[in-house]
Every structure is written in structure tokens, then in C-alpha cells.
Chain A
Amino acid sequence: MKLVVVSAGLSVPSSTRLLGDRLAAVAAPAATAPEPAPADVRVIELRDLAVEIAHTFTNGFPAPALADAFAEVASADGLIVVTPVFSASYSGLFKSFFDALSVTDEDALAGKPVLIAATGGTARHSLVLDHALRPLFAYLKAVVVPTGVYAASEDWGAEGLDARIGRAATELAALVAGPAGTAGRPAGRPLPKRDSFEEVTPFAERLAALSVPGPSPAP
């Protein structure tokens, strides 16, 4: 069982990263309960990948460290994605990571449980979760956890954030683990992907779909 945190925080230390860590700390043991060992948690800091993310757009392919991050995301059982709010939306770096991911593999997030979270200087931007992040991940075919978590600066010194973190992380854990009593593939687990290299459509089928006869025998 693996959870991956994608953090678009820029400063060190970062409240965005802190929120991601808090969510993972609750979700990891809940996802594997009653097993004593919590889910494996990996954190991807987009700041470290900023240049490679930009180069994906100039090159058309991800450089090695970014390709590794994409592989981590693709193999995750659940994702926790956290962005700071920039200009009333997710940050450009955050969006660019998922743009580059979907250019490389458009179904990377299909069927994957995703917990959305954001941080900002003021609570006035809290609807960024539902107006920006939720539609983005719906488009990417992810299963978005019902509760998103928004943390304004003031929330770090107030009551209530803990409860929201607990609720959202538990919802993610439930999706990742699947409904109780379900054997086999958990509900939120992505369908096995079709690899166009492994399963080639026989050419005769493509010709037939166009009603084109096959090649004539050599004269």
C-alpha cells in the first residue's frame, strides 16, 4: 500500500508541505488498519522538479527525476495533492506538474483516489478546492475524496483544522482500502491499464474498420 504526497509548496519550511504531511500521517495507518504497519508514504516536492517540469514542455519528454516522480504517482494507491493558492487558483507549478504528467500518460490518474488540499494567507480563498482543484482532478478521471482541506494562516493557530484533516484523511483511507468486506479489487483501485505496446490492435481490424481491403498479392 503506497500513498504519495504531491506538494507544490515553495518555501522551507512550507505550510503546504506541513499540511500534506499531516494528512499523510492520519491516512497512512488508517489505510492499512487493522494491520499494524501503516501505508508507505512518499513525498514529491515540486520545487525540486521545477526545471524538469518546464523542460517537459520544451522537450516533449520528462527528464529522469521527473520520470521517477511520474512513476511514483502512477504506482500510488492514493494521492494527497497540496498547493498554495496563487492568484485565486492552484499555483502554475502545481498545474504544470499535472499537465506534464497527463501529456506523458493521459490516464495516469484514472480511477485513483485523490485527496485535494490547499493553503493560503486568508480563508477567503477556501473555495479554490471546489472551483479549481476538484474540476481539474475530475477531468483527469481521478476519484476525488469528498472532503478537501483548506488551511489559511490563521487555521494553524485555531481549532478545527485537526478535525478536517482527520475527516479527509479517513475518507481517503477508506477509498484506498475499499469498502469493508470487499474481496479482491478495492473500489477506488484503478482498472488495469491497456498498454498500446503490449496489446496492438491487429492491422486487419483497422483496415476493416475503414472498410479497406487488405493489400493485393504481389504481381
Chain B
Amino acid sequence: MQFGIFTVGDVTPDPTTGRTPTERERIKAMVAIALKAEEVGLDVFATGEHHNPPFVPSSPTTMLGYIAARTERLLLSTSTTLITTNDPVKIAEDFAMLQHLADGRTDLMMGRGNTGPVYPWFGKDIREGINLAIENYALLHRLWREDVVNWEGKFRTPLQGFTSTPRPLDGVAPFVWHGSIRSPEIAEQAAYYGDGFFHNNIFWPADHTKRMVELYRARYAHYGHGTPEQAIVGLGGQVFMRKNSQDAVREFRPYFDVAPVYGHGPSLEDFTAQTPLTVGSPQQVIEKTLAFRDYAGDYQRQLFLMDHAGLPLKTVLEQLDLLGEEVVPVLREEFAKGRPANVPDAPTHASLLAAKNAGREDQEKEGARA
């Protein structure tokens, strides 16, 4: 099972000091957080993509390429890549380039974005959000698998004899996750292709996440990719920890109370009771995270949101120390217990390449026999 972090990349004033980091500080902090993730033994770093203030990560592959050069093991991903408003040709090119530079340590997560005006800013119609996600991904899927593509669609200029370069590393397309909070159509899309499905699992009650994951698993099996239990599921989560849980609550409350998205709403206590948010000791984080399995089944990837709402870099790095030293080792051990042998790990470049080579050998054997 993979463990990692995902970031929104918000530039938010620290409510306890009133100080707002500069964009440069925030970008450098995101890099420092990624490097720390590798240092403490996490597997994945994923960045969001946004095209409006107060967010900085508009150019994910630039940032991930830089991080790739400074890490050895860390898997670089997105949370999410906007399949609706980006040109699928540019996504194909950018992530294939990143895949080569990172020696295959990359995958990506498709999303539709959460800011209405991004659609018109990129010349798109938000009412076509689902259709854009469907058509653009259909093209992206082909660009990575066919050397020469002829294409005509509703949303993009046609392609005649187009080859997306560089070709994917070893002829293996980066693994794709599809992220959605509440659109069954996207769970269906992930299932259709046999891709991964990710639920951000942060702002909504668990029963909602459960419904989406169950739908994806059932449809994954329907399309013949395996049993429902073998579908590739990722979940988000949000935690703030201190050794002593009361210290965690005291320190996080001012950030929670004014946080973007859910600030000025319910109390910290109500929100932690109703959603997967955990504010407390590492042991409490372990217990709540292990319980995700009760409603999502045995899953493949757990990403935590650690750096937002104006938390200072120093605090985030301390959080990552706790996560890497005290939480994730226990989660790895506990999640492995009782996990059926036929539940696969999340695909990586190495596993996809091995599967491809095995398929080719099978074909050659068939050929030799014929």
C-alpha cells in the first residue's frame, strides 16, 4: 500500500500571526515538503493544479520535474490534473516528458476542477464538464497508446497523423487515477478503463465516500478488469497531530476556524465527528485511518493533506516527521494484516512494464506453438 501527501498549494495568511507567505516562499515550501516526504519514508507526493489566486501550482509538471531531480524514490503525482480545461495533447506530452525525466516515478489523477471561471478562461463551457472529461481523456488514452493518432472530436481541433512526443517511457503509459467527490459518471469512467479511482474523503461524511467507492468497485468488475476487491482505490485524509491530543486541538483550532473551504462553519469537534478529519495524537490518527478500510475495503493509496490553511512550513515539516515515524509504519503493518493475497498493490511503472513484458512473452509462446 502506498502512503503520501497531497497539496492544494494555497497561499493563505497564518491566522495566528497574520502573515501571508509570498508566492516564492509557498512554492519553495511545497518543494521542501515534497523532499521531506521522501526523507521520512512516504511514497507519494501529489500537487493540485489551479489557475487563480490564492493558489500557486498552475504548472504541475514544472514543479514535479524539479522535485524529480532532487529525489530518488518518491512517486510524483497530481491532485488533480484538469482534464476538462487542459488540452489533452499537452497533458500527454508534459507527463510523458516527466515520466522520462523521473525514470517512471510518475502517475497522475484526473479531475474537473472546482472553480467555475476556469472553464471560460480556457475557452470551455462548464455545463460540458463531464463531456469534456470523457472526450479529452479518450484522446489522452489513445495518444499514449497509439504512435500515430487521427482524431476528430467535439471539443478540440482535429488531429491528422499526429504523434505525441516523447512516447511514454518503455511504451508504458503513466498510470491514471480519476478523482471525484460526487459524480458517479467519473467512478464509471475509471471503472470502464480499469484505471484507479480516488476519493478526496475530506469534506464529506464517510457514507458518501463509501457509495462512490462501491459503485466504482462494482463497475470495475462489470468491465472485466478483476473482482470488485481488486479495483484500485485511493483515499484522501486530513490530519493534524501532536503527541498529546489536546495540544493538537489547541494548536490547530485557529487554523481550522478560518480555513478556506470549511472555515467559519461547524466547530472542530462537530467536523471531526462528521468527516474523516482527525486532530489528535498519532494513535488517534492511526485508529481513524485504519477505519477507512471498513467502508472503502482494502485499498491501494492513502494521501494526507498536511499543508494548508496557513500552517507554517516548520509546523508542516514536524507533522511529516510524526507521519513518517509514528503513523505510517504502523499503518503499513496493520493494513497488511488480513489483506487478501489477490488484492493488488497500486500499479507502478515497474509493475506495468513487467505486465507488458509478460504479455509479450505469452504472445511469443503462442506464436512459437502455432
**Interface residues of A, Cβ cutoff 8 Å to B:** 54-55, 58-61, 63-64, 196-197, 200-204, 206-207, 209-216, 218-219
* Interface contact B215-A200, CB-CB below 8 Å: yes
* Interface contact A218-B359, CB-CB below 8 Å: yes
* Interface contact B171-A200, CB-CB below 8 Å: no
Q: Does B162 contact A (CB under 8 A)?
A: no
A209 closest partner in B (C-beta): B131
Q: Sort chain B's interface into a size bin.
A: 35 or more
Q: How far is the CA of A207 from the CA of B262 in the complex (A)?
A: 36
Q: Which of B281-320 contact A (CB under 8 A)?
A: none
Q: For residue B184, which residues in chain A have a CB less than 8 angstroms away from its CB?
A: 196-197, 200
Q: How far is the CA of A15 from the CA of B366 in the complex (A)?
A: 83
Q: Does B185 contact A (CB under 8 A)?
A: yes
Known: A58-B266, A210-B138, A212-B135. 6 other contacts (CB 8 A): A61-B274, A197-B215, A203-B134, A203-B188, A206-B130, A213-B138
* Interface contact A59-B266, CB-CB below 8 Å: yes
* Interface contact A215-B141, CB-CB below 8 Å: yes
* Interface contact B146-A216, CB-CB below 8 Å: yes
Q: How far is the CA of A2 from the CA of B178 in the complex (A)?
A: 42
* Interface contact A218-B145, CB-CB below 8 Å: yes
Q: Does B154 contact A (CB under 8 A)?
A: yes
Closest 5 A/B residue pairs (Cβ): A58-B265, A203-B192, A212-B138, A55-B266, A196-B184
CB-defined interface of B107-142 with A at 8 Å, one 1/0 digit per residue? 000000000000000000000001100110011011
Q: Does B329 contact A (CB under 8 A)?
A: no
Q: Which of B16-24, B25-33, B64-72, B200-208 contacts A (4 or more CB under 8 A)?
A: B200-208
* Interface contact A60-B274, CB-CB below 8 Å: no
Minimum CB–CB distance for B262 against chain A, Å: 6
* Interface contact B274-A207, CB-CB below 8 Å: no
Minimum CB–CB distance for A203 against chain B, Å: 4
* Interface contact A207-B142, CB-CB below 8 Å: no
B265 closest partner in A (C-beta): A58
Q: For residue B359, which residues in chain A have a CB less than 8 angstroms away from its CB?
A: 218
CB-defined interface of B26-58 with A at 8 Å, one 1/0 digit per residue? 000000000000000000000000000000000
A54 closest partner in B (C-beta): B265
B136 closest partner in A (C-beta): A212
